[in-house]
Structure 1
Amino acid sequence: MGKVASGFGLHKCAKREQLLEDHISQLPHEILVHILSFLTFKEAARTSVLSKCWTNLWTYSARLDFYDFSALERIGNSLAEEYKSVRERERCKFVKWVNKVLQSHKALALDEFRVHFHLKRSSQEAIDKWLQFAFSRKVQRLELDLSGHDNLGCPSPKSYAFPYGPLGTSGKSSEINPCALIDFKSLKALSLNRVNMSGEVLEFILHNCQYLERLVVCGSENLINVEVSGPPALKHLEICFCYNMKCLTICDANLVSLKISCVDKLVLKNVPMLIDVYVRSYSRNGVTGVIARLSCCLLKLEVLTLSISSDEATKLKEMVHELPQLPKLKQLTLKVSEEDDKSLLGLTSLIRVSPNLEKLVIKMDWDDEIVRRRRRKFGEAINYSLHHLKVFKLSGFLGCTIDVELVKYFLKNAVALEKIIIDPRWDRGSFCCPEMEWETEEGIEEENDVRRRARQQLNRLIPSHVEFVIL
């Protein structure tokens, strides 16, 4: 028995060693680098300790993502009297970190280069060199988000300025910028947040990046009059929170989606492929002004997002006969800034001119006083059969009269309704950045309280064949 037991033990040991054998490290170099691309950059660097095979593997990564959340958190949590010193200390550490990584990096090409940190014009020289590095590696997707976590998208004269390098100079005719020698043709996506860019530089990029498919510019104070005509590959354009911009002209473009805000004049000419539009309404004419600007593409629109005030939402009730038809519209999102106790059922006027609508999303951005008082008035809306509406989502649900009545309205009129989604979080996100959730303990408890109220108020109203989801 002893010999049998001993043999069995050796067999188990050999089997365990076989199971522990490192098969991953035997994979081809290219596959290992690809595996690392699914990790954050810091996680990828930590794999150096696994074995000799992994020591410098991270330096061949085609994806460089520089984002230090903990440092941004330390800046945000610092006391008022310490804020500047903490911010500068963390900035210096961040810049040194990026410089050190780029000195060690060995990949000849980059799929993605992303920097997300609170940096300003004081870091101009360092960021210019980072851009030169990225473009010399034929980067395809480039993102500079220099906002940190505060004042997202807000322009400032102290913001970093995208270099004049693409134009051949650094702003002075006598100084040649090394960036001028760089080939920008590999660029497919460019996203800039809290980066100042002149119209001259923007138009240069549009004319010279022939493969550019996506362009986002958020929070630039230097854009005033912008003309977009190409490149042929450009499908997605987003220009927002550029408060000094007076005119945006888009002509002879193959755009599929467009997001804009803070522009006095919008001109669209020959944009036959445009089917997805997001407009933040600031004009005196409100929604009617926005609709007029989009007249050339209304018949083809499939997705429309409007950010409007409660006053505009209320006036829509009387404008139903003035609104043009939106025959191909399948998804409508209405972001409403609510400042007083006015009815929102005027929004149903937009739905009436969208006979083939399949998904409707209403996002509320309530004033703090409204949240505190928790009451709003209810107004009458004309019943209208919605034969194709399948999904209705209400964000910013508080459990007030108008919330419940809106749900009742769509239960009554949407004969093909399949799903109702209730989200207690109101839309606090910026135009170009993700929505931010309630983070304080008080906010989380309030959110849970709204969820309980939603179940109590709506469970008995929603029929069994309609899926009911509370986020």
Structure 2
Amino acid sequence: MAKPAVRRHAAARDRTSQLPVEILDHIMGLLPIQQAAKTAVLSKVWRDVWFSLTRLCFDHDFFSYFNKKYRRASKYVKKSSCLYVINKVLLQHKGCIRKFVFLYGNAGKLTIRSRSFDMDQWLLLVTRKGVEDIHLHFGHNEYKLPSFIFSCSTLRTLRLDGFSIQPQNSPCSLRNLSTLCFANVKFVSRYLANNALDVPKLENLVFKYCEDMFHFNITARKLCSLKVNCCSGKEVGKFLPVNLDLTSICTLDLDYYTLVYIIGQYTTKECLLQLPALNVKLLKLSSFCFHDDARTSAFTCLLCKCPKLCNLEISFAYQWGEDINKCIDAESKRLKKLRRVLQTHKMLLILKLSSFSGLRPQMHFIQEMLACLPTLEKVIISRPYRFDRSKEHETFEEISHFPRASAKAKLVFPS
């Protein structure tokens, strides 16, 4: 009775093996890489697919697998085993590698320092195999990314997390790159020439938890989207990457502290630069608070430079400091300037507010926006799960009675 079942299983397996190589590669690429390696023993077809797999993903699941497999071994043995397998897979690989993922955030400083040469060789091999998508996470900012990464002509997406990046010795170009993301990256300076990285097709640029990104020299003429969150800089009047052109950006995503830094870069007495007029249509601001003149001034300054703004998305800060109910003086000169600027925004149709908790400064902000924006059509106000439900009806009832400059303004309170 068992033999027919075995034959049916074998027949089904044979039919799968007869699928086009591209489909087999896609199927194997969806598996965790340790499972993909086991699949290679099923047949010569699968073995060939394994040795030419276009997606190599050494992620958290891969390293967790080795930690469990060698749970009684020392940390050195665990790490050495992982790195040995990676080295073997790459050396035996034949064909193109379209996507390479290496996520080893807890590698440790000693491991990174002792195996930097191996990592350099892995990346060199990958960049010579037509790679289009690279995602690397090392941690600790110990590993200095080799400069040849910034000359890989086939790259379309590059995500780097936990690196130290130095200025380029010579001009570099990523001529096909469209998305570039940095997280936990420390950009360092040196006394040599800081040559520009030219990325002519770059559309999306992200900086998260980065330090001193003004050392990064980049030209991106077609940049559409810029996101900067929780970044810092050590020099007054310097924040954004040198030579970064903001005029082509359509989507700008900032946290409120970054906004103050950026405006400071263009308004510091020692700095003679002027913030250019922007083509931003979608502006996203997180950790937003509306209770002091300095932040209000920065917000107003940015709005002045975004005359084509159509959509404004704001996420309120969870913590507002010591006096959470402090509001800006209604007669403040800076508040009056904000009102004048808001009244000029005749393309702004949608206002989306999230993390609304009903604090008085938040209510004041909503009141000012409704009273000043002349063409507003929709205001979406989302509350967090910890919102005081006992005050929900009263709060939203108060908002619904705020005066509106636009007769079309519709209030939406998602449940």
Where on the TM-score scale, by shorter chain, does this alignment land: which range? 0.5 to 0.7
Q: How far is the alpha carbon of 1:96 from its aligned partner? A: 3.3
* SS of equivalent to 1:200: coil
Give the aligned partner of residue 309 of structure 2: 357
Q: How far is the alpha carbon of 1:27 from its aligned partner? A: 2.1
Gaps of 5+ in 1: 1-12, 76-84, 148-154, 167-178, 303-329, 425-447
Inter-CA distance 234–364: structure 2 relative to 1 (3 Å threshold): same
TM-score normalised per structure 2:
0.66
Q: Deviations over 1:368-415 (max 9, x none)?
A: x84xx7832123355555544343333443332223333344445455
State the AA in 2 paired with 1:301: N
Inter-CA distance 227–242: structure 2 relative to 1 (3 Å threshold): farther
State the AA in 2 paired with 1:211: N
1:222 and 2:188 matched: yes
1: CA distance, partners of 2:44 / 2:66: 35
State the AA in 2 paired with 1:143: H
Give the aligned partner of residue 163 of structure 1: 146
* 2:99 pairs with one of 103, 112, 120: 112
Give the aligned partner of residue 406 of structure 1: 365
Q: How does 1:313-324 map to 2 (within 5 A)?
A: none
Q: How far is the alpha carbon of 1:49 from its aligned partner? A: 7.7
Q: How does 1:52-451 map to 2 (within 5 A)?
A: 54=46, 57-69=49-61, 91-106=79-94, 108-118=95-105, 119=107, 120-147=112-139, 156=141, 159-163=142-146, 166=148, 184-200=152-168, 203-204=170-171, 206-207=172-173, 209-218=174-183, 219-223=185-189, 226-228=194-196, 230-238=198-206, 243=211, 247=215, 253-258=221-226, 261-262=231-232, 264=235, 265=238, 267-268=242-243, 273-276=248-251, 280=258, 286=264, 289=267, 293=273, 295-296=275-276, 298=277, 300-302=278-280, 330-336=281-287, 342=292, 349-350=300-301, 353=304, 354-367=306-319, 370=321, 375-379=324-328, 380=330, 381-382=335-336, 384-385=342-343, 387-414=346-373, 415-422=375-382, 424=384, 448-450=385-387
State the AA in 2 paired with 1:468: F
1:213 and 1:234 in contact (8 A); partners too: yes
Q: Deviations over 1:45-83 (max 9, x none)?
A: 5655877754563443211121115857999xxxxxxxx
TM-score normalised per structure 1:
0.60
1: CA distance, partners of 2:393 / 2:326: 21
1: CA distance, partners of 2:115 / 2:131: 21
State the AA in 1 paired with 2:188: N
State the AA in 2 paired with 1:99: N
Q: Deviations over 1:333-381 (max 9, x none)?
A: 223476x9648766763576345422212234445x84xx783212335
* SS of equivalent to 2:414: strand
Q: Which moved more, 1:261-270 or 1:184-193?
A: 261-270
Inter-CA distance 248–109: structure 2 relative to 1 (3 Å threshold): closer
Gaps of 5+ in 2: 68-72, 402-408
2:127 and 2:152 in contact (8 A); partners too: yes
* SS of equivalent to 1:357: coil
Inter-CA distance 352–234: structure 2 relative to 1 (3 Å threshold): closer
2: CA distance, partners of 1:374 / 1:40: 50
* 1:27 pairs with one of 19, 25, 30: 19
Q: How far is the alpha carbon of 1:237 from its aligned partner? A: 4.5
2: CA distance, partners of 1:221 / 1:455: 46
